[in-house]
């Protein structure tokens, strides 16, 4: 292999000789091979950024058309990370860096980082399962282990909820995978469950007719599906009755208040007594 051609002050144009330093240091640093290597690295970096930027834009457009916001956002982030890794490897290769030794060192560092970041990796992988299951989406109302709120954002490591008293709660993706999650607003209709306990001297059929009549008067209560009535239990304190009334999901909150208020007033007016916990004490004779 022929020795590299050196750019010395005597081989440069006169104007360039005036501004560049002279001496052994210049001769060691500014060889033709060095300039070619710098140009190759710069070109590789620029082309890599342009290529990855183009790929990311294409992925964004496809994700916007064919995926929901949570799935598309995560796919775009993964594409960006992979693109940056591609640029780094390509640039190091252009600089003639020994990648085998570098990858070996990176493997050792990666193992150490992996142990330190097990939770983050677990949350990141759990995010893919959440997306694939499509249990909920942004703006859905969900309940997770007693916490209820509106889905504010779905990120790579966590899901953020905005509670109804305007608090922001962060739930790690790994927790969501292990927990019982209820999506309250997933379906267009939702049932309102009324549990009423009346005294044993009450006429069950009359109570049923009164409650169903009040439900029928409510303009937002759905006729199809029909209301549900059931005697749940002959309990210790009274007769436990169950009524199920269907509402459109976005009208459930108002329907809950209207039905409870109307039923309570009507039962009071009809003289139906609600049962309360009672305690009977027997006195031993003799």
What are the domain boundaries of the chain? 31-116, 133-183, 189-269
Per-position DSSP letters for 129-192, written without gaps between them:
HHHHHT---TT-EEEETTEEEEEEEE-SSEEEEE-TTS-EEEEEHHHHHHS-EEETTSSSEEEE
Contacts of 26 (CB under 8 A, 6+ apart): 8, 9, 20
- The larger pLDDT score, comparing residue 41 to residue 200, is at 200
- Most confident among 156-165, 175-184, 204-213 (mean pLDDT): 204-213
pLDDT at 16: 47
pLDDT at 100: 64
User: pLDDT band at residue 204, thresholds of 50, 70 and 90?
Assistant: very high
State which fold the 31-116 domain adopts: Helix Hairpins (1.10.287)
pLDDT at 5: 47
pLDDT at 133: 79
Give the pLDDT mean for 39-59: 82
Query: 0.95 exceeded by the pTM?
Result: no
CATH of domain 189-269: 3.30.70.100
pLDDT at 139: 87
> What mean pLDDT is reported for the chain?
79
Element (H, E) at 193: strand 189-198
Using a pLDDT cut of 90, give the percent of the chain over it: 30
Query: Do the two domains 31-116 and 189-269 of this chain adopt the same fold?
Result: no
Q: How many CA atoms lie within 13 A of 121 on its CB side?
A: 8
Whether the pLDDT of residue 1 is over 50: the answer is no
The arrangement of secondary structure in 133-183, i.e. its CATH architecture, is: Roll (2.30)
Over the stretch 25-47, which tens digit does the pLDDT of each residue have? 555 555 666 777 777 778 878 88
User: pLDDT band at residue 52, thresholds of 50, 70 and 90?
Assistant: confident
């Amino acid at each position: 292999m022929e020795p590299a051609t050196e750019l010395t002050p005597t081989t440069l144009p006169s104007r360039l000789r005036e501004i560049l330093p002279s001496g052994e240091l210049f001769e060691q640093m500014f060889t033709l091979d060095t300039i070619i290597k710098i140009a190759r690295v710069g070109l590789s970096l620029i082309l890599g950024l342009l290529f990855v930027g183009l790929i990311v834009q294409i992925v964004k457009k496809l994700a916007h058309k064919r995926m929901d916001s949570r799935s598309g956002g995560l796919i775009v982030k993964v594409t960006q990370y992979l693109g940056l890794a591609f640029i780094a490897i390509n640039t190091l290769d252009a600089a003639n860096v020994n990648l085998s030794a570098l990858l070996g060192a990176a493997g050792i560092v990666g193992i150490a980082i992996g142990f330190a970041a097990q939770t983050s990796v677990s949350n990141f992988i759990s995010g893919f399962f959440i997306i694939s299951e499509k249990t909920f989406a942004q703006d859905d109302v969900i309940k997770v282990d007693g916490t209820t709120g509106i889905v504010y954002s779905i990120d790579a490591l966590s899901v953020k909820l905005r509670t109804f008293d305007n608090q922001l709660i962060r739930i790690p993706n790994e927790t969501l995978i292990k927990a019982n999650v209820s999506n309250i607003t997933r379906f267009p209709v939702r049932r309102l469950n009324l549990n009423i306990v009346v005294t044993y001297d009450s006429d069950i059929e009359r109570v049923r007719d009164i409650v169903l009549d009040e439900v029928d008067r409510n303009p937002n209560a759905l006729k199809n599906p029909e209301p549900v009535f059931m005697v749940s239990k002959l309990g210790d304190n009274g007769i436990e009755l169950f009524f199920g009334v269907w509402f459109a999901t976005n009208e459930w909150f108002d329907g809950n208040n209207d039905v409870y208020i109307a039923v309570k007033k009507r039962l009071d007016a009809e003289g139906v007594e609600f049962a309360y916990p009672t305690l009977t004490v027997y006195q031993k004779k003799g």
